[in-house]
Copies of this chain bind each other. A is one copy, B any other.
């Protein structure tokens, strides 16, 4: 990419440009190898200006990750015009397609060095919490009461989805459609089994 020197941008535009450059660079290399100098060069700005916007290299990296997570959530927003099970299938299909397109980024963020950083972990946790919230919000329309036990199952299911997807991205032994179906059917399976368990235990 050519350095874009002497461009006049508003502060918001400049900030967005710097994040976009980082998101783009993240497709080529892991986060920890994105240097402030490279980004400043590509943007045609000084290191000092970059630090004016982001405070530190670490803050800049967190901003990139936050943007990437928001992007994923936007791409997988539920289409509430569909039937409940179709909403879920549509969300899972969008999710698989999104992470397939951004495979290296996704795997390196969630399973690389970034996964041990407290600020990054917080972004990932908020993203998972939002995915779980979307599911839990749908449960009453399915006649399912979101008890603590079911909320815990949904949280576990988010981890199930993430792990099965990362395993599949590394070694796609089943088709994309089979994976979508596996993720979709697992949710009512764990939610209903936790209801069955509640019935068995009389709680």
Contact = CB atoms under 8 A, between A and B. Distances in A.
Interface of A: 111-118, 121, 148-149, 151-153, 155-164, 167-168, 173-174, 177-179, 181-182, 184-186, 188-190, 192-194, 196-198, 200-201, 203
Given A163-B156, A163-B158, A197 B173 contact: no
A163 B129 CA distance: 12
Contact of A160 (B185, B190, B192, B200): B190
Given A113-B116, A115-B115, A185 B181 contact: no
B160 A157 contact: yes
Contacts of A113: 116-118
A168 to B, nearest CB: 6
A13 B192 CA distance: 51
Nearest to A118: B113
A115 B111 CA distance: 8
A173 B148 contact: yes
A117 B113 CA distance: 6
B190 A194 contact: no
A131 B46 CA distance: 51
A133 to B, nearest CB: 14
A76 to B, nearest CB: 18
Given A156-B160, A158-B163, A185-B197, 14 more contacts: A113-B118, A116-B116, A116-B117, A152-B179, A155-B167, A156-B186, A159-B159, A159-B162, A159-B164, A178-B201, A186-B190, A186-B193, A186-B194, A189-B190
A177 B156 CA distance: 17
A81 to B, nearest CB: 24
Nearest to A114: B116
Contacts of A178: 149, 197-198, 201, 203
A118 B111 CA distance: 9
Contacts of A155: 163-164, 167
